[in-house]
């Protein structure tokens, strides 16, 4: 069993969807919890079985109700687990936290969350003054409890705000082993409590004192409107953002308690690990930023240690403090020292590349004490970063690509700060050095650099243009060199075009991208002088470049059309005339030319190109599209042609066209036609199936046609019992309708559904049984469905199910239909749940049987199921040894005589077997397809009603018990356990 569970958990973690295809999440969760309660299972296996709940809590607990029930079960397991199993207890606490938070159960209305919080606080209060006396198991469990409390507080702010005094006392008494966990927890709770208090209108020093002295009982015995009693809240936003705006708590100078707490936390912070120190300082910085009565000078004693730190997390926290308090805490000398240290760390050889990039980014976002101008969160160098100080940050060819780009950006900003945005600044050595560095990168690309070198060069070119695009001689030189690079390596066309696109959309000087595209057009057209010498791949890239250039209305296209005609009429090599890809690229250029503003001057030559392609190209698809373009060009006016192209998704947007991908790469079909031929996906369900009320009566079984002699053999009241069962079994095996269940539903719109689906036509419903409980169902067609209020009644839908096992199941439903907008839609429907009671059928006996033979069959089946007779399973044709699946049981319920009669009439009327000679009890025979039986003898007693059960499938007893509980309202009546 242990090995099988380890394998099952591993299978679930590998692919939850594939694992749940053979079962359901509900069944798997029940099995997991049952095994957790089983004392025979080892705790190593139980530890493994917690992994599904930790990794996929919302999959196994899809609702808050399920999550709460699961947590209650797990807390019961925790209470019975011996303390020596430390690892399991700690993992169980983490699992409980994960399920509670993920399913949204953390609220005052949840018994599970209140009990779990009480448990965690009790575990955290097990304080010992002598660490030697504390068992290691208890120390680990306490540490896990503190981590769980911090996670709950982070996900549900102010959850522990009523316990600040308790947590502070634990922090002060705690030995060093748990001091870090409790300090971090206390800081988070304090920050959240102050944040919510500052957001309340009229809050002042009294509220702060009440917050710091809060020590409510564990079970949330606080004020009804306390934040701790509210439902789950989202994490609070940081008050140290770029805007620096956050709630402020006006307390005046009377903040002795808060200052004392902050001083104590700061004095002990050096005992924590760097990450814990950073988290603590971040929370305390937010507290001081929100409370006006506490001076930032409280951090002064920590600055000496923080300014000299080599830890990234602590340095980042220092910068956050500087951004929050500026010259209230940091002097001009501190700022200069911090800036010099940043420059040193950016190039320190012991720092990783990621750390160097972080420090470089801090330079361009440095929080100055008195910034000049508003940077609006963008990049701007501090005033104290002089060219002499930044001289060591210039890029080199030996730098990592990311490091080189970051240093290039900083060096460019330093040069602009020194010389200003004017071309005269080019005389400085900084710009000349950066230009030479860019040319070195270009040289690497020209001589076969790898992809990383190519990408780095084009990114560096974009950065250079962003900063120095106004320097005309360098911009023109770069444009010329890029065209030469393209002619030498046509495969780099995507990179060159992407640079043009980014330059056109970005902060580069307007007009540079258009000039680059014009130069690329000339370079591509110049290659057409000798097409025989141009390779197929290079010609493909030339056409791609011309297609992009054709999107610019400012660029003339006469030379491009001449190039297209030369390509279309070229006969060498012959394979080009039959190449679909080449024809597609050629027509892509033609299509962009159809939308060009200068189309009037291109009309005749473009028509010649299209006509030649339509007549002579070797590919049929290319010829058809060329013929279509020729028809559009010669038959439509400019306005109509623009409208057709715009409807096809090729409308110009600022001189560029954003075409949607279509099945054909050469033309984007009309959106109306595409929509009409596409099955659209509805985001939410539109309608659902509503079960009809079966109170009007249960359908009697439809007996199969049978031979007269066979019927006569079973109609003799004096026939032996063996003949009665033999006749029934032969009838059951020969009748296919006995294994089918007909369920009736109505198709109705959802009360709250998407708009535009009030009138639906030609609905086709598809059903997919889950877990293989039922045989495949045929699709159901419904002519129409109108929203309620129309004259037509809701359409009826009858589902004929053939169960493969006598258990309840679920049908996943979907539908394809036509809406009133004449589009075809596909929508998922809410699942149809087939309950256990819906599987009941009367005994499928021959139609000629009377009450006496039905009663005899009941008694014979009862004797077999209870005594283990020699009859085989009824659904298997009889004969053989006693089936091990047979079982009997007893269910008791407190029902009065009138209540019993009402229950029999409402739930068991079609299944009752009359016995005129027995006035003390009732007999009920349930047939459950495909071949199982449940027999009931219902006998009223003095203080209860006894339901004696017998069945040929013991696995049905839990379902029968649940059914009887529901119909007798057992829990509400507080009856005795069955």
Work out the pLDDT band at 426, boundaries 50, 70, 90. Answer: very low
Work out the pLDDT band at 908, boundaries 50, 70, 90. Answer: confident
- Ranking 639-648, 816-825, 913-922 by mean pLDDT, the lowest is 913-922
Work out the pLDDT band at 661, boundaries 50, 70, 90. Answer: very low
User: 869 near 922, Cβ under 8 Å?
Assistant: no
Give kind and range of the element (H or E) at residue 951: strand 945-951
pLDDT at 608 over 90: yes
User: Which has the closest alpha carbon to 468: 501, 419, 516?
Assistant: 419
Q: Is residue 789 packed enough to be buried (19+ CB in 10 Å), middle (13-18) or exposed (0-12)?
A: exposed
* Chain centroid to CA 70: 22
Work out the pLDDT band at 166, boundaries 50, 70, 90. Answer: confident
8-state DSSP, 299: G
Work out the pLDDT band at 418, boundaries 50, 70, 90. Answer: confident
CA distance 553 to 597: 6
CA distance 978 to 974: 12
Predicted pLDDT at 721: 57
User: Strand 679-681 to strand 824-834: parallel, antiparallel, or no bridges (unpaired)?
Assistant: parallel
Q: What percent of the chain has pLDDT over 90?
A: 39
Task: For residue range 368-378, list pLDDT tens digits in order.
Answer: 888 775 455 56
- Ranking 139-143, 384-388, 393-397, 718-722 by mean pLDDT, the lowest is 718-722
CA distance 835 to 907: 14
pLDDT at 937 over 70: yes
Sheet of 687-691: strands edge to edge? 687-691, 741-749, 796-801
Extract the tokens encoding 561. Answer: 């059309």
Give kind and range of the element (H or E) at residue 714: helix 708-714
pLDDT at 722 over 60: no
User: 619 near 583, Cβ under 8 Å?
Assistant: yes
Q: At what angle do helices 493-505 and 512-526 cross, to 10 degrees?
A: 160
Would you tell me how many other CB atoms lie within 10 Å of the CB of residue 575?
10
Q: What is the average per-residue pLDDT within 66-79?
A: 93
Q: What percent of the chain has pLDDT over 70?
A: 82
Token match 């963008």: residue? 378
Would you tell me how many other CB atoms lie within 10 Å of the CB of residue 946?
15
Q: What is the average per-residue pLDDT within 159-165?
A: 87
- Ranking 79-83, 697-701, 716-720 by mean pLDDT, the lowest is 697-701
User: Which has the closest alpha carbon to 619: 671, 677, 664?
Assistant: 664
Predicted pLDDT at 45: 92
CA distance 882 to 499: 82
User: Which has the closest alpha carbon to 161: 201, 142, 188?
Assistant: 188
Please give the backbone phi and psi of residue 531, each rounded to the nearest 5 degrees, phi first: -65, -30
CA distance 62 to 357: 42
pLDDT at 691 over 80: yes
| Dihedral sign from CA coordinates of 954, 955, 961, 967 | negative
- Ranking 36-45, 210-219, 249-258 by mean pLDDT, the lowest is 210-219
Pairwise pLDDT comparison (133 vs 769), residue with the higher score:
769
Query: What's the mean pLDDT when you consider all of the chain?
Result: 82
Q: What is the average per-residue pLDDT within 343-367?
A: 91
Predicted pLDDT at 696: 37
pLDDT at 460 over 90: yes
Token match 């994490």: residue? 235
Q: What is the average per-residue pLDDT within 310-338?
A: 92
Work out the pLDDT band at 91, boundaries 50, 70, 90. Answer: very high
Q: What is the average per-residue pLDDT within 678-685?
A: 86
pLDDT at 350 over 50: yes
CA distance 43 to 471: 72
957 contact partners, CB below 8 Å, separation of at least 6: 887, 889, 949, 951
Give kind and range of the element (H or E) at residue 938: strand 932-940
CA distance 897 to 908: 15
Work out the pLDDT band at 972, boundaries 50, 70, 90. Answer: very low
Extract the tokens encoding 311. Answer: 């830890």
Predicted pLDDT at 560: 92
User: Which has the closest alpha carbon to 182: 208, 215, 160, 155?
Assistant: 160
Predicted pLDDT at 1: 54
User: Strand 656-657 to strand 741-749: parallel, antiparallel, or no bridges (unpaired)?
Assistant: unpaired
160 contact partners, CB below 8 Å, separation of at least 6: 149, 152, 153, 167, 185, 189, 228
Question: For 479-489, b where at least 16 C-beta lie within 10 A, e where not — what string?
Answer: beebbebbeeb
Q: What is the average per-residue pLDDT within 649-657?
A: 41
CA distance 296 to 623: 77
Sheet of 922-928: strands edge to edge? 887-893, 945-951, 932-940, 922-928, 912-913
Predicted pLDDT at 127: 55
User: Which has the closest alpha carbon to 147: 221, 95, 78, 192?
Assistant: 95
User: Which has the closest alpha carbon to 589: 617, 620, 613?
Assistant: 613
CA distance 651 to 16: 45
Task: For residue range 731-765, list pLDDT tens digits in order.
Answer: 776 666 667 888 999 999 888 878 888 888 889 99
Q: What is the average per-residue pLDDT within 356-375?
A: 83
Predicted pLDDT at 694: 52
Would you tell me how many other CB atoms lie within 10 Å of the CB of residue 510?
9
719 contact partners, CB below 8 Å, separation of at least 6: 713, 727
Task: For residue range 144-157, list pLDDT tens digits in order.
Answer: 999 999 999 988 88
Task: For residue range 100-109, list pLDDT tens digits in order.
Answer: 999 988 877 7
pLDDT at 489 over 50: yes
Q: What is the average per-residue pLDDT within 939-965?
A: 89
Predicted pLDDT at 133: 45
* Chain centroid to CA 169: 41
Work out the pLDDT band at 714, boundaries 50, 70, 90. Answer: very low
Work out the pLDDT band at 977, boundaries 50, 70, 90. Answer: very low
Predicted pLDDT at 666: 34
pLDDT at 655 over 50: no
- Ranking 321-335, 723-737, 881-895 by mean pLDDT, the lowest is 723-737
145 contact partners, CB below 8 Å, separation of at least 6: 93, 119, 120, 123, 124
CA distance 513 to 479: 9
44 contact partners, CB below 8 Å, separation of at least 6: none
User: 558 near 601, Cβ under 8 Å?
Assistant: yes
363 contact partners, CB below 8 Å, separation of at least 6: 339, 342, 343, 346, 381, 382, 385, 410
Residue 741's DSSP bridge partners are 801
DSSP assignment string, 641-700? HHHHHIIIII-EETTEE-PPP-SSSS-PPPHHHHHHHSEEEPSS--EEEEEPPGGG-PPP
Q: pTM value?
A: 0.62
Task: For residue range 623-639, list pLDDT tens digits in order.
Answer: 889 999 998 888 887 77
Task: For residue range 789-803, list pLDDT tens digits in order.
Answer: 655 688 999 999 999
Extract the tokens encoding 837. Answer: 């009671």
Helix (H, G, I), strand (E, B) or coil at 940: strand
Predicted pLDDT at 42: 92
Predicted pLDDT at 650: 41
CA distance 774 to 781: 20
Residue 817's DSSP bridge partners are 825
pLDDT at 767 over 60: yes
Extract the tokens encoding 726. Answer: 């033999």
Pairwise pLDDT comparison (757 vs 577), residue with the higher score:
757
Task: For residue range 213-229, list pLDDT tens digits in order.
Answer: 866 544 344 343 444 44
User: 111 near 60, Cβ under 8 Å?
Assistant: no
Extract the tokens encoding 438. Answer: 């860019």
User: Which has the closest alpha carbon to 403: 412, 391, 413, 394?
Assistant: 394
Task: For residue range 176-186, list pLDDT tens digits in order.
Answer: 667 888 899 99
Q: At what angle do helices 580-594 and 638-645 cross, to 10 degrees?
A: 130
Q: What is the average per-residue pLDDT within 297-304?
A: 90
């Amino acid at each position: 069993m242990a090995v099988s569970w380890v394998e099952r958990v591993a299978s679930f973690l590998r692919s939850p969807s594939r694992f749940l295809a053979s079962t359901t999440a509900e069944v798997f969760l029940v099995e997991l919890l049952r095994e957790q309660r089983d004392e025979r299972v080892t705790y190593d296996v139980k530890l493994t079985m917690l992994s599904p709940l930790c990794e996929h809590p919302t999959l196994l607990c899809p609702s808050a109700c399920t999550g709460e029930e699961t947590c209650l079960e797990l807390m019961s397991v925790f209470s019975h687990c011996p303390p020596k199993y430390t690892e399991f207890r700690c993992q169980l606490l983490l699992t409980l936290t994960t399920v509670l938070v993920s399913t949204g159960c953390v609220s005052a209305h949840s018994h599970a969350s209140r009990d779990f919080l009480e448990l965690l606080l009790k575990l955290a209060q097990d304080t010992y003054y002598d660490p030697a006396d504390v068992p290691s198991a208890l120390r680990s469990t306490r540490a896990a409890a503190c981590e769980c409390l911090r996670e709950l507080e982070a996900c549900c702010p102010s959850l522990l705000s009523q316990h600040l005094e308790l947590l502070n006392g634990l922090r002060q008494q705690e030995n060093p082993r748990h001091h870090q966990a409790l300090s971090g927890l206390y800081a988070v709770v304090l920050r959240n409590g102050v944040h919510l208090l500052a957001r309340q209108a009229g809050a002042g020093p009294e509220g702060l004192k009440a917050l710091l002295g809060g020590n409510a009982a564990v079970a949330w015995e606080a004020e009804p409107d306390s934040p701790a009693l509210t439902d789950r809240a989202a994490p609070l936003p940081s008050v140290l953002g770029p805007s620096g705006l956050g709630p402020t708590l006006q307390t005046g100078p009377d903040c002795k308690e808060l200052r004392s707490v902050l001083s104590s936390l700061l004095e002990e912070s050096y005992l924590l690990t760097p990450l814990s120190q950073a988290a603590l300082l971040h929370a305390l910085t937010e507290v001081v930023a929100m409370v006006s009565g506490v001076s930032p000078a409280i951090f002064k004693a920590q600055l000496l240690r923080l300014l000299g730190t080599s830890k990234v997390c602590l340095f980042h926290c220092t910068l956050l403090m500087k951004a929050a308090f500026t010259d209230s805490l940091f002097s001009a000398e501190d700022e200069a020292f911090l800036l010099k240290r940043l420059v040193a760390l950016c190039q320190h050889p012991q720092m990783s590349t990621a750390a160097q990039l972080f420090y470089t980014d801090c330079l361009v976002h440095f929080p100055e004490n008195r910034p000049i101008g508003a940077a609006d969160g963008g990049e701007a160098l501090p005033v104290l970063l002089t060219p002499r100080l930044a001289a060591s940050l210039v890029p080199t060819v030996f730098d990592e690509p990311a490091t080189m780009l970051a240093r290039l950006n900083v060096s460019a900003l330093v040069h602009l700060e020194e010389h200003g945005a004017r071309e005269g600044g080019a005389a400085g050595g900084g710009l000349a050095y950066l230009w030479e560095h860019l040319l070195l990168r270009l040289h690497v690309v020209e001589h076969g650099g790898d992809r990383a070198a190519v990408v780095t060069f084009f990114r560096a070119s974009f950065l250079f243009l962003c900063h120095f695009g106004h320097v005309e001689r360098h911009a023109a030189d770069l444009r010329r060199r890029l065209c030469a690079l393209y002619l030498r390596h046509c495969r780099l066309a995507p990179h060159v075009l992407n640079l043009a696109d980014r330059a056109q959309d970005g902060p580069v000087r307007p007009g540079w991208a258009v000039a680059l595209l014009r130069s690329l057009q000339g370079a591509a057209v110049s290659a057409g002088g000798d097409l025989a010498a141009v390779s197929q791949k290079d010609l493909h890239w030339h056409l791609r470049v011309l297609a992009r250039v054709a999107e610019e209305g400012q660029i003339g296209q006469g030379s491009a059309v001449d190039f297209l005609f030369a390509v279309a009429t070229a006969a060498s090599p012959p394979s080009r005339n039959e190449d679909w890809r080449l024809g597609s690229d050629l027509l892509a250029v033609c299509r962009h030319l159809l939308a060009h503003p200068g189309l009037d001057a291109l009309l005749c030559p473009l028509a010649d190109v299209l006509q030649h392609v339509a007549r002579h190209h070797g590919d049929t698809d290319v010829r058809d599209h060329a013929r279509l373009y020729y028809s559009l060009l010669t038959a439509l006016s400019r306005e109509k042609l623009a409208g057709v192209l715009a409807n096809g998704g090729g409308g110009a947007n600022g001189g560029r066209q954003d075409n949607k991908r279509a099945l054909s790469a050469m033309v984007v079909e009309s959106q109306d036609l595409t929509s009409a031929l596409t099955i659209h996906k509805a985001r939410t369900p539109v309608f659902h199936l509503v079960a009809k009320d079966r109170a009007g009566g249960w359908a009697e079984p439809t007996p199969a046609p049978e031979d007269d002699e066979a019927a006569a053999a079973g109609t003799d009241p004096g026939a032996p019992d063996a003949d009665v069962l033999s006749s029934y079994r032969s009838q059951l095996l020969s009748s296919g309708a006995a294994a089918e269940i007909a369920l009736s539903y109505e198709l109705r719109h959802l009360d709250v559904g998407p708009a535009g689906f009030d009138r639906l036509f030609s609905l086709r419903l598809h059903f997919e049984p889950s877990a293989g409980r039922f045989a495949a169902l045929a699709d159901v067609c419904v002519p129409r469905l109108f929203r309620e209020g129309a004259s037509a009644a809701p359409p009826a839908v009858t589902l004929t199910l053939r169960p493969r096992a006598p258990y309840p199941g679920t049908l996943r439903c979907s539908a394809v239909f036509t809406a009133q907008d004449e589009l075809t839609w596909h929508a998922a429907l809410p699942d149809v749940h087939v309950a256990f009671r819906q599987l009941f059928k009367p005994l499928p006996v021959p139609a000629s049987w009377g009450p006496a033979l039905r009663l005899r069959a009941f008694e014979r089946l009862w004797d077999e199921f209870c005594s283990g007779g020699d009859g085989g399973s009824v659904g298997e044709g009889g004969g053989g040894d006693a089936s091990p699946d047979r079982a009997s049981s007893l269910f008791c319920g407190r029902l009065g005589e009138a209540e019993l009669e009402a229950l029999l009439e409402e739930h068991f009327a079609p299944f009752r077997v009359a016995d005129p000679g027995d006035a003390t009890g009732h007999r009920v025979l349930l047939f459950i397809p495909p071949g199982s039986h449940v027999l009931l003898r219902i006998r009223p007693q003095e203080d209860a009603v006894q339901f004696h059960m017998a069945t040929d499938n013991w696995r049905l007893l839990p379902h029968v018990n649940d059914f009887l509980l529901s119909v007798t309202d057992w829990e509400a009546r507080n009856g005795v356990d069955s």
